[in-house]
Chains A and B, each alone.
Chain A
Amino acid sequence: KQEVTQIPAALSVPEGENLVLNCSFTDSAIYNLQWFRQDPGKGLTSLLLIQSSQREQTSGRLNASLDKSSGRSTLYIAASQPGDSATYLCAVGGGYQKVTFGTGTKLQVIP
């Protein structure tokens, strides 16, 4: 059974700092891995999707990496802003696979 863990559970940083969020999964036979953000009371917004054959994806200030063999992914956020404050979730699976979400990292960026 796939299990997804995210560390840390919560993170508070001053504005402008670069930061890394971690995601680990137990079964490396994944279809893809997706990073989302969730704002309070809202649905999930897709940030980046990494296919199983890829090593990383970039979008603006965000960079996600994937190391399937070690069961790890990281989300790097450069020059953090208060608007980045949200809960960040990683999820593995999709397509024909069940999707398993991590418990999330709650990020607060302090102005």
Chain B
Amino acid sequence: EPEVTQTPSHQVTQMGQEVILRCVPISNHLYFYWYRQILGQKVEFLVSFYNNEISEKSEIFDDQFSVERPDGSNFTLKIRSTKLEDSAMYFCASQRGGNQPQHFGDGTRLSIL
């Protein structure tokens, strides 16, 4: 069964550094999402992406964050200047259509030192 893959599984970065988290969504899916989950807290929506542009974004998704779908297969989340509070598990999800189930990757654990 096709699945969403995320790399790396764990990323350790110094505060202030840029980080790029990578996702390969399921190939025929049209909607793409990034979420984060701080340890012990609930899953939080960051951004949704459709038709090569951002559909919705949360208050968390400020100017330090950006998303790209550079080559039609990868979907990336960039954090320009990481802060300690960016430490979390980041999940990518994709969806065939707006009323289809979202499929999640296993996540990237981001640790900011």
List the B side residues contacting A44 at CB < 8 Å. Answer: 43, 91, 93, 102, 104
List the B side residues contacting A98 at CB < 8 Å. Answer: 45, 48, 56-58
List the B side residues contacting A76 at CB < 8 Å. Answer: none
How many of chain B's residues have a CB under 8 angstroms from any CB in A? 27
Contact of A31 among B42, B91, B93, B98 (CB under 8 A): B98
How many of chain A's residues have a CB under 8 angstroms from any CB in B? 25
Q: A43 and B106: CB pair below 8 A?
A: yes
What is the 8 Å Cβ interface bit string for chain A, positions 96-110, against chain B (1 contact, 0 not)?
111111111000000
Q: B101 and A49: CB pair below 8 A?
A: yes
A21 vs B91: C-alpha distance in the bound complex, in angstroms? 24
Main secondary structure on A side of the interface with B: strand
- Chain A nearest CB, measured from B91 CB (Å): 6
Task: Give the residues from 61 to 113 in chain B that come closer than 8 angstroms, CB to CB, to chain A.
Answer: 91, 93, 95, 98-107
Q: In the complex, which residue of chain A has the Cβ closest to the Cβ of B93?
A: A44
A72 vs B45: C-alpha distance in the bound complex, in angstroms? 21
Q: B98 and A94: CB pair below 8 A?
A: yes
Q: In the complex, which residue of chain A has the Cβ closest to the Cβ of B33?
A: A99
Asked if B52 is an interface residue, CB under 8 A from chain A, the answer is: no
Question: In the complex where A34-B102, A95-B98, A95-B99 touch, is A101 in contact with B45 (Cβ < 8 A)?
Answer: yes
- Chain A nearest CB, measured from B50 CB (Å): 7
Residue pairs across A and B with Cβ atoms less than 8 A apart, 19 shown, are A34-B101, A34-B102, A43-B91, A44-B93, A44-B102, A49-B99, A89-B43, A94-B98, A95-B31, A95-B98, A95-B99, A96-B55, A96-B56, A97-B56, A98-B45, A98-B48, A98-B56, A101-B43, A103-B42
Chain B residues within CB distance 8 Å of chain A: 4, 31, 33, 35, 42-45, 48, 50, 55-58, 91, 93, 95, 98-107
10 A-B pairs closest in CB distance: A95-B98, A46-B101, A43-B104, A101-B43, A44-B104, A99-B45, A43-B106, A98-B56, A49-B101, A103-B42
Sample of 9 more A-B contacts, CB < 8 Å, known A43-B91, A43-B106, A96-B50: A31-B98, A36-B104, A44-B43, A44-B91, A95-B98, A96-B55, A98-B57, A101-B44, A101-B45
